[in-house]
Amino acid sequence: MVLDEGAEVVGHGAILPPQGGQANPSLLVLLRLGLWKMPFVVGWGACARFLALLDVIAAIEHEVTSADADLNSGNYYTIEAYCVAVDRHGRGLGARMLPPLLARADAARRPAFLLTQLAGNVRFYARHGFAVIDERDAELKGAPFHCWAMKRLPAAAAAAAAVLSAAVS
């Protein structure tokens, strides 16, 4: 999903359908999506760090989802690349984008899963029915970061709607 204001993209996000485990696109798919341009745009070092980060994140996702009874079958939806431009935070744009994505998981009666590295995001996702199922410190080539794993069960959809409705009233 892409949210734009005129010609400017101010937010985007995706929900990946169940894949029997973690998303692991083939090299051919990544090349078709334009990943081959990345080293020329951001540099080889940044590209290598990005690919290493994907490996760290995939390992965390695998460990967390394998240990969770609702997720270990791989039959869950994954929220990916969800963000709103910093200068647009606090305007409800993220809250407007998320329900249509989550509707896919709810319609299939499947849980949704995500990883985030920002505490503010944890509060945002909690308002939409997600619960923290794992929290840990991680490291990428000596640079530490914190990571929260969150899931949202289909039953959480009604509860989140009630909370949001009460907050608006």
Which 3 state secondary structure label does DSSP give 157?
helix
CA–CA dist 132, 137 (Å, integer): 14
- Domain residue spans in the chain? 25-168
CB 112 within 8 A of CB 78: yes
| Phi–psi pair at 26, nearest 5 degrees | -70, 165
Please name the CATH architecture into which domain 25-168 falls: 3-Layer(aba) Sandwich (3.40)
pLDDT over 70 at 153, yes or no: yes
Determine the residue type at 58.
Answer: A
The span from the CA of 96 to the CA of 133, in Å, is 24
Neighbours of 117 (CB within 10 A): 12
pLDDT value at residue 20: 52
- Which distant-in-sequence residues (6+ apart) come within 8 Å of 94 by Cβ? 11, 82, 84, 124
Of the two residues 165 and 12, the one the predictor is more confident about is 12
Task: Please name which of 157, 58, 148, 141 lies closest in space to residue 102, comparing C-alpha atoms.
Answer: 157
Note the pLDDT of residue 32: 78
What is the full DSSP assignment across 15-77? EEPP-SSS----HHHHHHTTGGGHHHHH-HHHHHHHHHHHHHHHHHHHHHHHT-TTTTTS--E
Average of pLDDT values for 25-36? 75
Confidence of residue 23 (pLDDT cuts 50, 70, 90): low
36-65 pLDDT per residue, tens:
888 899 999 998 888 898 899 999 999 999
